[in-house]
Amino acid sequence: MATRADSKRGATVTRLPTARNSDTGEIPRKASFGRRIRKKFRLFSVRAGMDLPFFFLVLTLMVIGLIMLFSSSYAYAYYNYGNSYYFIIRQAGFAVAGIFIMVAISYFDYHHLHKLAIPILLVTYMLLVLVLFMPERNGVRRWIYLGPVNFQPSEIAKFALVLIFAHLISINFKRMSTFRYGVLPYLLILGSIAVLVLLEKHVSATLILVALAGVMLFIGGVQLRWFAIAFGVLGAAVAYIVLFSAKFGYASDRISGWLDPFGTTVDTWQTRQSLMSIGSGGLLGLGLGQSRQKYLYLPEPQNDFIFAVVCEELGFIGALLIVILFAMLVWRGITVSLKAKDKFGMLLGIGLTVQVGLQVILNIAVVTNTIPNTGISLPFFSYGGSSLMILLAEMGVVLSISRTSTIEKT
């Protein structure tokens, strides 16, 4: 594999102008230098430049996200907090801090995460149990409140899951085709986390965790028959829920609301308002800041349904551009990861990138009523300080991985 990557790099080098050759040419030199030093005392190592396209895609999305958050939360913040800047000030603060953290983490050698994988998993378990004893809000317990800082352990769980899977797969890579090393540990970890998250009644997070686990295992080389079995079980579960939907009052209302958002049988206010917002945008949108739906029609427009306001203000063209930016981010993240130095980096990078991609797709699918309504936030856009920080930290990890990647980075 190394030869293949080398040859690729070599090919790239030959294609590129000489001015850039010096950059890429530095890699082995700096890497060897870094490796020498790191072994002794340095936590951070500047082995090579981070991937600039990925970095700027993150920055671009972050900036657009902040602008849209300001626009969408303006009226809601005014009516509920008497201050139109309530959300944007907080979010912008977290974004700035988060970007610093992201850049800092990009200098952090992600290999240290091997050692942190199990501790982080254990902390995650603790938090997931702790959250069940937190005060209830809106009928669910998903948040841990630490004075001014609140966060959702399920966000951390996603990272912990991706990390532990990347860790285990990379060290047991050769035994991935066995049940004992290739399936069982992952099933146990995923199962235990999923059960804890389900206890929060957090279906969407559970879905993402399962999907991420599936992606990690798939890339990691688990035999396809296990996926066949998994899909069979999933299919049966879905069929059971659909056929006996009456038993799941909560879920069945979601489904009938999904099938007929403008009907009168169930309360579909949010979905309905979202569809009206998106539709009102048309091709070119009402213009930045011109959303009407954000005037308290669309509930909490700064959260999961922020993309509806984006569509209303920026139109199909604007929405399409943002989706393309996200797709580019995902593409870049994955290709960068593919060329990571080792399997751990590759799996970790892909896991974290796919997590962003999945959230974007599911979030837009929800606001467009393509799938039933479930709470999934839109990365870089939705309001939420702690989740933004976690997201940017994860992007920092991807950037850290990119430093080892042999991909062309400018």
Among 315, 372, 379, 385, binds other proteins (CB under 8 A): 315
Q: Determine if 57 is a binding residue for other proteins (CB under 8 A).
A: no
In the complex with other proteins, the residue whose CB is nearer, 109 or 200, is 109
Residue 53 lies near other proteins (rule: CB under 8 A):
no
Helix, strand, coil percent values for the chain (each to nearest 5): 70, 0, 25
**How large is the C-alpha radius of gyration of the chain?**
22
Is residue 1 at the binding interface for other proteins, with CB under 8 A as the rule? yes
Total site size for other proteins, rule CB under 8 A = 59
Candidate ranges 62-70, 85-93, 242-250, 337-345; the one touching other proteins (CB under 8 A): 337-345
Query: Cβ distance 308 to 293 under 8 Å?
Result: yes
* Cβ nearer to other proteins, comparing 23 with 342: 342
Given candidates 72, 152, 277, 387, which one binds other proteins under the rule CB under 8 A?
Answer: 277
Q: Is 339 in the site for other proteins (CB under 8 A)?
A: yes
Task: Report yes or no: 349 and 329 within 8 Å, Cβ to Cβ.
Answer: no
CA distance 221 to 347: 11
CA geometry: angle 117, 119, 120, nearest 5 deg: 65
Considering only residues 98, 257, 281, 396, which one is a binding residue for other proteins as defined by CB under 8 A?
A: 281
At residue 353's C-alpha, the angle toward residues 362 and 116, to 5°, is 120
CA distance 404 to 340: 6
300 is a site residue for other proteins (CB under 8 A): no
Decide: is 280 part of the binding site for other proteins (CB under 8 A).
yes
Among residue numbers 368 through 387, which ones bind other proteins (CB under 8 A)? 368-370
Q: Which is nearer to other proteins, 120 or 376 (CB)?
A: 376
Q: Looking at beta carbons only, is 253 or 342 nearer to other proteins?
A: 342
Q: Which of 151, 326, 381, 383 binds other proteins (CB under 8 A)?
A: 326
Return the residues of window 69-128 that contact other proteins according to CB under 8 A. Answer: 75, 79
Rule CB under 8 A: is residue 361 a binding residue for other proteins? yes
DSSP symbols for 1-56: -HHHHHHHHHHHHHHS-HHHHHHHHHHHHHHHHHHHHHHHT-SB---S---HHHHH
User: Taking the complex as a whole, how short is the minimal distance between the CB of residue 46 and other proteins, in angstroms?
Assistant: 21
33, 44, 173, 248: which one contacts other proteins (CB under 8 A)? 173
Among 44, 59, 187, 221, binds other proteins (CB under 8 A): 221
Residue 13 or 134: which CB sits closer to other proteins? 13
**Out of 183, 189, 278, 401, which residue is the one contacting other proteins (CB under 8 A)?**
278
> How does strand 144-146 pair with strand 149-151?
antiparallel
Q: Identify the residue among 84, 342, 375, 393 touching other proteins (CB under 8 A).
A: 342
The single residue among 141, 341, 403, 409 that binds other proteins, judged by CB under 8 A, is 341
| 365 counts as binding other proteins under rule CB under 8 A | yes
CB 166 within 8 A of CB 351: yes
Does position 227 bind other proteins by CB under 8 A?
Answer: no
Least distance from C-beta 14 to other proteins, angstroms? 21
> Where would I find the beta strands (DSSP E) of 282-369?
none
196 vs 336, beta carbon nearer other proteins:
336
Check binding of 48 to other proteins (CB under 8 A): no
Q: Pick the binder of other proteins from 196, 219, 398, 407 (CB under 8 A).
A: 219
Nearest alpha carbon to residue 378 among 309, 295, 317, 328: 309
How big is the CA angle at 163 (ends 161 and 168), to the nearest 5 degrees? 95
- Residues 48, 408 contacting (CB under 8 angstroms): no
Q: How many angstroms separate the CA atoms of 196 and 201, rounded?
A: 9
In Å, how far from its chain's centre is CA 30? 31
Distance between CA atoms of residues 340 and 332, nearest Å: 12
Sign of torsion over alpha carbons 98, 274, 212, 131: positive
Report the SS3 class of residue 373: coil
The residues binding other proteins (CB under 8 A) are 1-2, 5, 75, 79, 173-174, 215, 218-221, 262, 267, 269, 275-283, 290, 292-293, 295-297, 311, 315-316, 319-320, 323, 326-327, 330-331, 334, 338-343, 346, 350, 354, 357-358, 360-361, 364-365, 368-370
